[in-house]
Structure 1
């Protein structure tokens, strides 16, 4: 098993993952942030590789992606930086981004490089499931990389079961069909959605993302699922805080304590 699979096999609940964009706020901040997040208590990380047309992302992450691109971040630079990842970080790491840069780089090459630097999983929101299954799953499997697939409130039961069949780690449960950065509205509709997924008794754990910005939304997600992902709130923190490394422990503490 890779690190991610071992983490979920442990049965630990209340997992906290943090998303941030590689190359933001500065080109060379990627590994420093990862190390600080592990020390602060994050259970696993999602490092976004920036793209010029991030259609699922709200203004905060879009802006971070554009800044990262302006800083000079690309997949070649990112993989060079991640060469030092496993000297400083031991928790599971996922790369998250869009299909276009991955395909331009070459999916087989991308998977090999990701495995070489110690990445455990990949999230590509706009990669069609049938394309993954028919064209690319062999590259993921050969390199022991978990492909994490997204589910929305509108995803049919049949498709959810298919995703569960194709998954070997966890399922990324979007709290809504909105873009990133929208606060999770803790209401009866969300509660019913979370319970519907819970009642399906999927073989893979589920982690909630999109809209997790405070302890209330984090605890709401964890009440029905194995944990939650904080993205826009952390990216916003990075952009608004000059000495951002020094405050990461306090940022994590607001969710974990």
Structure 2
């Protein structure tokens, strides 16, 4: 089992994942942020590799991606930065981004590089499920990588069952079909959606993302899932000063 699978085997609730963009706010801040988040109690991390056309992301993460790219962040540089990752960081690490940079890098090369630096899995929202299953699944599994699929309120039960069968860590349950950075929808409709997925009794645990910004929304998500993922709210705080201090201050609300 990779670190991610071990985490979900041993912890069932209150799992906190933090997303941030590699190369933001400074080009060399990727590892510093990972270390600070681990020290502050994050359970696992999602490091975004920036892309010029981040269609699923709201303005905060879009802006962080643009700044990171302008500063020179690339997948090659990210893997170079992560080569010493496991000397100090022991919690699970996912890479999250779009499929185009992965294809340009080469899927086999990408999976091998992930394994070499100690990455445990990937979230690639625009990688079609059938392509993953037919073309890339063996490569991911050979390198010990979990591929994380996304589910939205519009996803059919048939597709969710298929995703569950292809998954081996967790399923990323989007709180809505909006872009990142919107507030968590806790309407009756959203609660019915969360309850419907929970009632399916899937084999894989659920993590809720998109709109988790404070302790209240984190706790709401925990009612329906094993935990939640915070992205835009955290990325926004990084622009406000010393990275280590900002991480510590942000995490106090969730891990006092």
TM-score (norm 1): 0.98
Q: Which residue of 2 aligns with 1:22?
A: 22
Q: Is the 8 A contact 2:238 2:247 kept in 1?
A: no
Q: Deviations over 1:92-146 (max 9, x none)?
A: 0000000000000000000000000000000000000000000111110100100
2:203 equivalent in structure 1: 203
Residue 236 of structure 1 aligns to a residue in which SS? helix
Aligned ranges for residues 236-251 of structure 1 at < 5 Å? 236-239=236-239, 241-251=240-250
Tell me, yes or no, if structure 1 residue 194 matches structure 2 residue 187.
no
Q: Give the alignment of 1:1-257 within 5 angstroms.
A: 1-239=1-239, 241-257=240-256
Question: How much has 1:254 moved relative to structure 2?
Answer: 1.1
In the alignment, structure 1 segments of 5+ residues that lack a partner are: none
Q: TM-score, normalised by structure 2?
A: 0.99
> What is the distance in 2 between the residues matched to 1:148 and 1:109?
19
| Separation in 2, partners of 1:215, 1:13 | 14
Distance 1:190 1:253 in 2: 28
Q: Which moved more, 1:241-250 or 1:210-219?
A: 241-250
CA deviation map 1:150-172 (0-9, x unaligned):
00010000000000000000000
1:163-218 CA distance string (max 9 Å, x none): 00000000000000000000112221111111001000000000000000011110
Report how many residues are paired. 256
Q: Higher mean Cα deviation, 71-80 or 245-254?
A: 245-254
Structure 2: stretches of 5+ with no match in the other structure: none
SS at match of 1:23: coil
Moved over 3 A (4+): none
Distance in 2 (CA, whole Å) between partners of 1:12 and 1:225 is 9
Contact map agreement 2:23 2:73 (CA 8 A) in 1: yes
Are the counterparts in 1 of residues 237 and 246 from structure 2 also a CA contact under 8 Å? no
Partner Cα distance (1:250, 1:235) in 2: 13
Q: CA deviation at 1:250?
A: 2.2
| Range 215-224 or range 198-207, more displaced | 215-224
